[in-house]
């Protein structure tokens, strides 16, 4: 899986109630990123994402901005072993 990355993100700030999950799914689909996004009880958003190194970096940069109305304070990024387990990008409940 050369040139592939897999990351786990915890995004904090004003990221719930601003269409963050749906917009993240749209950004991921546009870039060909696979994985999932979900809200956490502490008002943060969790993302698990896999893709080619360059496009995944573009996706992470998008996450720093988020949709209109979002105010991202911080993103905790954890690098994981590349995986091909994800077939699409989903919103988890």
CATH of the domain at 64: 3.30.70.100
Cα separation, 9 vs 81, whole angstroms: 14
Total of domains in the chain: 1
* Contact (Cβ atoms closer than 8 angstroms) between residue 7 and residue 79: yes
The sign of the dihedral angle between the CA atoms of 45, 51, 57, 58 is negative
* Contact (Cβ atoms closer than 8 angstroms) between residue 36 and residue 89: yes
Cα separation, 69 vs 84, whole angstroms: 33
74 is catalytic: no
pLDDT band at 1 (very low <50, low <70, confident <90, very high): low
pLDDT digits (tens, 9 = 90+) for 17-39: 999 999 999 999 999 999 999 99
- Global pTM? 0.96
Give strand ranges (E) for the chain.
Answer: 4-14, 34-39, 45-52, 71-80, 89-91
Domain extent at residue 9: 4-91
The answer on pLDDT for 85 being more than 90 is no
- In the set 30, 39, 71, 93, the catalytic residue is 39
3 is catalytic: no
- In the set 21, 71, 74, 93, the catalytic residue is 21
């Amino acid at each position: 899986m050369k040139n592939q990355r897999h990351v786990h993100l915890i995004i904090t700030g004003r990221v719930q109630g601003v269409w963050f999950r749906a917009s993240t799914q749209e950004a991921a689909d546009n870039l060909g990123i696979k994985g999932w996004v979900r809200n956490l009880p502490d008002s943060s958003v969790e993302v698990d994402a896999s893709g080619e190194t360059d496009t995944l970096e573009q996706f992470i940069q998008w996450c720093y901005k988020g949709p209109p109305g979002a105010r991202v304070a911080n993103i905790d990024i954890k690098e994981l072993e590349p995986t091909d387990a994800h077939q699409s990008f989903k919103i988890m409940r």
